[in-house]
Structure 1
Amino acid sequence: MVPQQRQSRTRGRIRRSHDAIKARVSVSCPNCGGIKLPHAACSDCGYVRPGLKLQLNSKED
């Protein structure tokens, strides 16, 4: 299939303006100071919010 009419460079670039890769935001854990994603559990200590801590599986041999 062939497009009925060619799209201009400007229209194509405007359409692709939202396709850019955005940088991931990271915050420091208030419990241990490690880096974690916001609204997620810390991968180092398991801290989520005050009063809630997840059990992490330790990889010990």
Structure 2
Amino acid sequence: MAVPKRKMSKARRDRRRANWKLEAPGYVACPQCHEPKMPHHVCTECGYYDGKEVIASEE
């Protein structure tokens, strides 16, 4: 079994762990207002999710 020969510093360890999430999150177009939104989230512009109004718009 492999065993580390030297202690890994916290800076080196944390630098390696910080690089797992470098890509920008994927956006999709809202089917109602066609604004970009996060997938599986309520649209912040129109308040719709899955074709239903979840958050009442103030318009």
Query: TM-score, with normalisation over the residues of structure 2?
Result: 0.58
Q: How far did residue 47 of structure 1 move?
A: 1.0
Is 1:19 equivalent to 2:9 in the alignment? Answer: no
Over the matched positions of the two proteins, sequence identity in percent amounts to: 31
Q: Distance in 2 between matches of 1:23 and 1:40?
A: 16
How many residue pairs get aligned? The number is 49
Q: How far did residue 45 of structure 1 move?
A: 0.4
Q: How far did residue 23 of structure 1 move?
A: 1.0
**Backbone CA RMSD of aligned residues:** 2.9
Q: Distance in 2 between matches of 1:30 and 1:57?
A: 16
Q: Distance in 1 between matches of 2:57 and 2:34?
A: 20
Contact 2:46/2:57 (8 A) holds in 1: no
Which residue matches 2:55? 55
Structure 1 outlier segments of 4+, above 4 Å: none
Which residue matches 2:29? 28
